[in-house]
Amino acid sequence: MNSVANDDPQDTAPDQDWDPGRSAQLYGINAWGAGYFNISDRGDVQVNVEVDGLPVNVSVPDIVRGMHERGLHMPAILRIRNLLDQRVEVLNKSFARAIEEGGYGNCYRGVYPIKVNQQCHVVEEIADYGRQYNHGFEAGSKAELIIAMAQLRESDGLIICNGYKDAEFIELGLYARQMGIPCFFVVETLSELPIIIERSRALNIEPLIGVRIKTTVAVDGYWSQDSGDRSIFGLSTTSLMRLVEQLREAGMLHCLRLLHCHLGSQIPNIRNVRSGVLEACRFYTGLVQEGAPMGYLDLGGGLAVDYEGARTNSTHSMNYRLDEYCVNIVESIRETLDPLEIDHPVIISESGRATVAYSSMLLFNILNVSSSRPTTTAGTPPENCVETLRNLHDIQARLSEQNFQECYNDALFYRDELRELFHHGQASLRERALAESIFLEVLHRIAAMLPDLQRVPPELQHLEEQLSDIYYGNFSLFQSLPDIWAIDQLFPIMPIHRLGEKPERSAILADLTCDCDGKIDRFSTPDGERNVLPLHPLIPGEEYYLGVFLVGAYQETLGDLHNLFGDTNVVNVAINADGSFEFAREFHGDSIADVLSYVEYEPKQLQENFRLVAEKAVRDGRISVAQRSQIVNAFKDSLHGYTYFENH
Ligand code: PLP
């Protein structure tokens, strides 16, 4: 392992009372890990899966070692194939159980929304493993429909086509239908209907039509706008009636088979799910009464992931379990339709996040730590220094648990006064530096008193955060964790090793981009959100690895090339029954040449341009011919290197 830089002045001795159990509690891994992750006695994060019905666990640091041996360095996405399989299985089995126990008269058909993680091996694995459950796909574009049509071999899985559809999209879906694939067009706007009618007549293929409605149920959480009157998707009740009339006039009402209702993603409150299903059932009933055969009720996505492990109805959590979700849906449909003697429809859900979130984690190493702790004690001001500096220094001698608040106010006052003096040329640079050091020393001493207080004064409540270290991580927030930046998403973040040691430092994380938004300063803990993350001091000569968990949904393709950091390395690991693991697939992340070509540079041309610059430098006598070769080769090597920090 390679050495790391450490600006950190105060490495602390390990706390003998600490153990992996306390780390588990601190980082909440047993709550958000849902049994898939925990901490081993050795203090490593491990992944727990079932293989052939038996539990198997594998240490994540062991996988990281294997990655380095194969030349796959940090940052990297680690995907555990078994976790994808297990999520598909648990979803199907939970619905099957609810259906059986609830005496429901039809079956469940899951469809995976490709947009949630389109990566080929993720979709392939869901198709392969999901075949036994006839798990299908939701496609929101022509590209996604093409993926779905090519993946659903020898399966009765459904394809649900959402989104805007042009004639080509519709023709593709009709061909799928002609080949026996149950491919539904979900009408999102009335303008799509004439194209569906016209193309199906022209090709003489009868379509399976669904219709998406706007529900009025108000949903908690971030995606509350996905439903309701102002939702940009789905038909209003008036438009729905026009759709029925137009289909009737075209003699195609018998093609209307599916009602689609997506309440939003990450629905944290089970009450919203229940209300949404009840409302959907009312629309379903209405369409049956209008004479449409129906038969399928698609409840969209929304099944949440408990990123916080808090089991509450807060945005990043959920107040229900998967079993409860399934039972609520099954019961609500049965209770609404039975009194009206309407046959139970096939239940479809488009669970994306809950299917893929657990299977991926982002791993990265820490490159450096910047600490606000003064490296040495600030020292005594010289005799002839400005009076403000002396006053600031005097605070240190009188600071105690009895007067810390007063000392805090004084320290702030004198620090600001000295900055003013510096501004006006009345204090020297050296005096200002000394003042800043003394000020920080005072603040650190006050911060150390706070944990013992019964009540922390409001102005000191953010002191821990203000004094926290900055751990610089080898990753790009914009490329690998875009939802943290875009929608303030919380993901579980923790070290993947050294968990038998007490994490003595409080830190925020900064990424490699030189963007002030490229930081993480909100973390979920079992006790709620915090602005700092407890971490271990770096050990010189050793790598320190962090993992960001549950990142399998939405993060990979939403990421962007900010500062031209490209795709990270990716490994897909398959865990075997004997606890061994295989690198089933590995992908090297983008090279610098790759990302430059994405933004319309021609790497070969850049190389040629640079050769000309080097030639001129030789002509001008700045470098020798031998140096020219060395420099041109270094340029070429960099062009084909990883976009992230390399220290191997
Ligand atoms: N179906 C539709 C129509 C969606 O818009 C979405 C995402 O917003 C999903 C399914 C997937 O939702 P989730 O990831 O919450 O399961």
Q: pLDDT digit string (tens) for 202-258? A: 999 999 999 999 888 777 776 666 666 656 678 999 999 999 999 999 999 999 999
Cβ–Cβ < 8 Å for 507, 471:
yes
Q: Angle of helix 81-101 relative to helix 322-337, nearest 10 degrees?
A: 30
- Pairing verdict, β 159-161 and 183-187: parallel
pLDDT of residue 232: 66
Tokens of 623: 């470098």
Tokens of 627: 């140096």
Q: Which residue has the tokens 């379903």?
A: 284
Out of 111, 112, 114, 116, mutate this one to test ligand 1's pocket (max ligand atoms within 8 Å of CB): namely 116
The four Cα atoms 308, 314, 315, 317 give a dihedral, to 10 degrees, of 30
Ligand 1: centre distance to CA 466 (Å) = 38
pLDDT of residue 533: 97
Atom 4 of ligand 1, residue of closest alpha carbon: 301
Ligand 1 atom having least distance to the Cα of 553 = 14
Residue 209: closest CA among 193, 198, 230, 227: 193
Measured distance CA(78)–CA(157) in Å, rounded: 28
Ligand 1 atom having least distance to the Cα of 212 = 3
Ligand 1 atom having least distance to the Cα of 264 = 8
The four Cα atoms 291, 292, 295, 296 give a dihedral, to 10 degrees, of -140
pLDDT of residue 388: 97
Cα-based distances in Å from 648 to 4, 499, 513, 639: 11, 25, 21, 17
Ranges of H-type helices in 473-540: 477-480, 482-487
Atom 10 of ligand 1, residue of closest alpha carbon: 301
Name every residue whose Cβ is closer than 8 Å to that of residue 365 and which is 6 or more positions away in sequence.
Answer: 4, 74, 75, 473, 474, 543, 544, 545, 546
Residue 295: closest CA among 91, 134, 107: 107
Q: Which parts of the chain sit beneath pLDDT 70?
A: 1-15, 222-232, 648
pLDDT of residue 514: 83
Tokens of 114: 């490709």
Ligand 1: centre distance to CA 30 (Å) = 27
Peptide bond into 492 cis (omega under 30): no
Cβ–Cβ < 8 Å for 74, 548:
no
Name every residue whose Cβ is closer than 8 Å to that of residue 574 and which is 6 or more positions away in sequence.
Answer: 81, 82, 581, 582, 584
Ligand 1: centre distance to CA 213 (Å) = 15
Amino acid at 506: S
Cβ–Cβ < 8 Å for 304, 274:
no
- Pairing verdict, β 533-535 and 346-349: unpaired
Chain centre distance of CA 453: 36
pLDDT of residue 356: 98
What average pLDDT is seen over the chain? 94
Cα-based distances in Å from 52 to 29, 79, 379: 25, 20, 66
Ligand 1 atom having least distance to the Cα of 300 = 1
Ligand 1: centre distance to CA 563 (Å) = 30
SS3 content of the chain, % helix, strand, coil (to 5): 45, 20, 40
Ligand 1 atom having least distance to the Cα of 554 = 14
Atom 9 of ligand 1, residue of closest alpha carbon: 301
Tell me which H or E stretch contains 85: helix 81-101
Ligand 1: centre distance to CA 27 (Å) = 28
Tokens of 532: 């700092």
Ligand 1: centre distance to CA 299 (Å) = 10
Residue 153: closest CA among 110, 118, 123: 123
Beta strands, E only, 325-474:
346-349, 360-370, 469-473
Atom 6 of ligand 1, residue of closest alpha carbon: 301
The four Cα atoms 526, 528, 529, 531 give a dihedral, to 10 degrees, of -80
Tokens of 434: 């000394």
Name every residue whose Cβ is closer than 8 Å to that of residue 229 and which is 6 or more positions away in sequence.
Answer: 214, 216, 236
Tell me which H or E stretch contains 260: strand 256-260
Chain centre distance of CA 115: 14
Ligand 1: centre distance to CA 423 (Å) = 55
Ligand 1: centre distance to CA 93 (Å) = 20
Q: Which residue has the tokens 């105690």?
A: 400
- Pairing verdict, β 45-51 and 37-39: antiparallel
Ligand 1 atom having least distance to the Cα of 265 = 15
The pocket around ligand 1, CB under 6 angstroms, is made up of 113, 116, 138, 162, 262, 265-266, 300-303, 350-354, 553
Name every residue whose Cβ is closer than 8 Å to that of residue 396 and which is 6 or more positions away in sequence.
Answer: 438, 441, 442, 445
Instruction: Give the whole-number percent of the chain exceeding pLDDT 70.
Output: 96
Q: What is the pTM of this model?
A: 0.93
Ligand 1 atom having least distance to the Cα of 304 = 15
Ligand 1: centre distance to CA 558 (Å) = 15
Atom 11 of ligand 1, residue of closest alpha carbon: 301
Atom 7 of ligand 1, residue of closest alpha carbon: 265
Measured distance CA(37)–CA(268) in Å, rounded: 22
* Phi and psi angles of residue 273, each rounded to the nearest 5 degrees, phi first: -60, -50
Ligand 1: centre distance to CA 190 (Å) = 21
Ligand 1: centre distance to CA 264 (Å) = 7
pLDDT of residue 4: 46
- Pairing verdict, β 208-212 and 256-260: parallel
Tokens of 49: 């899966």
Ligand 1: centre distance to CA 188 (Å) = 15
Ligand 1: centre distance to CA 115 (Å) = 8
Ranges of H-type helices in 102-236: 120-130, 142-151, 167-178, 192-203
Out of 141, 158, 262, 489, mutate this one to test ligand 1's pocket (max ligand atoms within 8 Å of CB): namely 262
Peptide bond into 381 cis (omega under 30): no
Other beta carbons within 10 angstroms of residue 366's beta carbon come to: 23
Amino acid at 365: N
Out of 212, 260, 350, 358, mutate this one to test ligand 1's pocket (max ligand atoms within 8 Å of CB): namely 350
Atom 12 of ligand 1, residue of closest alpha carbon: 301
